């Protein structure tokens, strides 16, 4: 028999402007762009590029809450990186793996 679709039942809350460029510090001094969904769940330094004045863009450090990935629950995990429920990345089940 077929499986039911797994759907998101809750709309994720964003405490920042998701249109702006979100960046996370993945190594000391090394920054990378991030999707808003990953940005909200990243435990570590985060910043947002403010371009309200296109002649004077600047980065603003972000100190908002860290959520468990794909939920609206605030994370109490202290390890750096993305905060996953039970430490398991839910996206793994959607990746193709080969045994070669």
Q: How far apart are CA 94 and CA 92, in angstroms?
A: 5
**61-65, 81-85, 89-93: which has the minimum mean pLDDT?**
89-93
Residue extents of the structural domains in the chain = 22-88
**In the structure, what pLDDT confidence band is assigned to residue 36 with cuts at 50, 70 and 90?**
very high
Rounded to 10 degrees, what is the CA torsion of 92, 8, 35, 63?
Answer: -110
Kindly tell me if the per-residue pLDDT of 92 is higher than 70: no
pLDDT for position 6: 56
The model's pTM? 0.78
pLDDT for position 40: 96
- The CA–CA distances, whole Å, from 40 to 45, 78, 95, 99 equal 11, 15, 22, 34
**pLDDT per residue as tens digits for the range 1-26:** 444 455 567 799 999 999 999 999 99
Collapse the DSSP code of 46 into the 3-class scheme (helix H, G, I; strand E, B; otherwise coil) and give the result. Answer: strand
Helix (H) or strand (E) holding 7: none
């Amino acid at each position: 028999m077929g499986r039911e679709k797994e759907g998101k039942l809750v709309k994720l809350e964003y405490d920042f402007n998701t249109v702006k460029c979100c960046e996370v510090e993945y190594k000391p001094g090394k920054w990378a762009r991030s999707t808003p969904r990953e940005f909200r769940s990243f435990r570590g330094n985060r910043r947002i590029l403010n371009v309200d004045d296109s002649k004077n863009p600047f980065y603003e450090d972000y100190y908002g809450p860290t959520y468990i990935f794909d939920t609206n629950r605030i994370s109490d995990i202290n390890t750096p990186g993305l905060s996953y429920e039970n430490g398991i990345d839910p996206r793994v089940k959607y990746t193709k793996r080969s045994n070669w």
